[in-house]
Structure 1
Amino acid sequence: MGKTSKDKRDIYYRLAKEEGWRARSAFKLLQINEEYNIFNGVLRAVDLCAAPGSWSQVLTKNLRQNAVNTEDVKIVAVDLQAMAALPGVKQIQGDITKQETANAIIEEFQGLKADLVVCDGAPDVTGLHDIDEYVQSQLLLAALNITTHVLKNGGTFVAKIFRGKDVSLLYSQLKQFFKLVTVSKPRSSRNSSIEAFVICEKYNPPEDYVPNMVNPLLDHKYFDLNSDFNSFTGINRFIVPFNACGDLSAYDSDTSYSLLLEGQTSYEYKNPIQSPINPPYKDVLEKTKKLKINHVPK
């Protein structure tokens, strides 16, 4: 989270800094939980594409508050890049498309499966909506693939989705694995963004389904490229309910507010509670510098 003037005008950015969240996205998960109560009874949770860790922070705080014994709560955060440590969160630096990552998650749960899997991952957007939607759909399905390995029957899956003209195909795929699928737009998600979140409840895979990481669920080679995925009929035609999450009278993320929050008389910049970790390129530069010093030609 930078210090640009646009960021300062974002009410959720400033609230995140005030409350110690690593990113404003923490409010999206909080508002989803307010609407769907997805944390109820959850002891084992997985945060896919977790960096910088705001959703892991939310999981840690809420699950431990609700648990009778906090030692029973286990949270695993998975990401390709390193992430600053969080108390009570086990980190796995790995690829969600690999079988070994799924095995590592189950190993952390001592052979048990997760009650909840969340994924706030998204590609670097290009601004070309068709490309962004396709790449995001592949990321969502990669998250779904690993979820079929680690989620218990009856569990819940929450993931980011970019809504587009062919989104009905994604809904149909998700409906094959969950009894209840809903799309929600949290109040803290900007109206100008095409992002939303699928809340998939009551995991119930098809009979005799064997989880695998080999075949993507969404692949155009199985479909006519000129087909209209919104023209599905019968069991394949499923209209997913759409809900707005969060108090509709609360802050609007697309509206500019005064720098002074309620109760403040002056604005004071606050440094992040936890400094970010060094990016990998800095470590490489430091090692290169040391090598040059130790190998000065005589």
Structure 2
Amino acid sequence: MTAHPVPAVSPGSAQGAATLIFNAGAGGSSHSSPEALAEALHHAGYRPVYRATDGEADLRAALADVSGPVFVAGGDGTVRAAALHLAGRADVTLGIIPMGTANNVARTLGIAGDPQAVIAAYAGAQAAPFDLGRVTAPWGQDVFLEALGCGLFAEVMAAYDPQQGKSPLRAVGALGEVMRAFTPPPLTLTLDGVAQPPLDCLLLEVMNTPATGPRLPLCSGADPGDGLLNVVRVDARDGEGLLTYAAALAAGDFAQLPSVTSTPARCTEIPYCGQPFHVDGEVRPARPDTFGVVRVEVWAAALRVLVPAVEGG
């Protein structure tokens, strides 16, 4: 991420008061505790208040009246849940303590490693703007941090159903099921008011961060601080095959494949013919016989996020 810093948070001032949100169900939570994280934040110069949250209602209540830094310990799902309550609030700054599996949002900000080391780096943190994607669709209103998309990835997610819990075996089964039946739909997108040539989209992703899902690096150039979203399309007619795509993703050069196009845009309109979509890690199921438009707009600087100090920087 290209950070555009604004005045640094000063833990020694009144801004030192902070809120800690901790997800006990995150992947790395067994190696830490809210008490240990609160103590680390105290050593970094903050005065943390831990607010226990066991569900959406608790989270909404915990964040309703907060101000200043809000530290969220958990994975991308926890970060998303908190961010949706903090978006558009200029008096709040989000600090991420990554404890999940993919940690796509944290990695975009250069945040990785042991929670104690991450927190120590927040002692000299600066705040930077973080865009979001705002969606109007036949299923309703949505907001995303990482990406929204339809096509192969969304179809696999819908078949896999993340609400049933994580399972590599189910993931393989979902991929096989989709590959047997999926026919890429012809889509005519509109980007910033300009209609694009029709395309049989094997994959369509509107990206805010470089990676989404299980760390799929679909758009290395995506920058959530630039006021733009990146529309990534894979043309099924020039498809290189799954093994080629997998190798390119592993090597980090997916965008260089001939069938892949990435275009920055502020507003994207996607024809909707009932296909499933994903919004970050959530699925919006297929709605057969429903037609319309999925409109995606960038919500520039919707969040303020803390970017930890880099040693020697």
The answer to whether TM tops 0.5 is: no
Higher helix share: 1
By relative contact order (CA 8 Å, sep 6+), the higher-ranking structure is 2
Higher strand share: 2
Q: Which has the larger radius of gyration?
A: 1
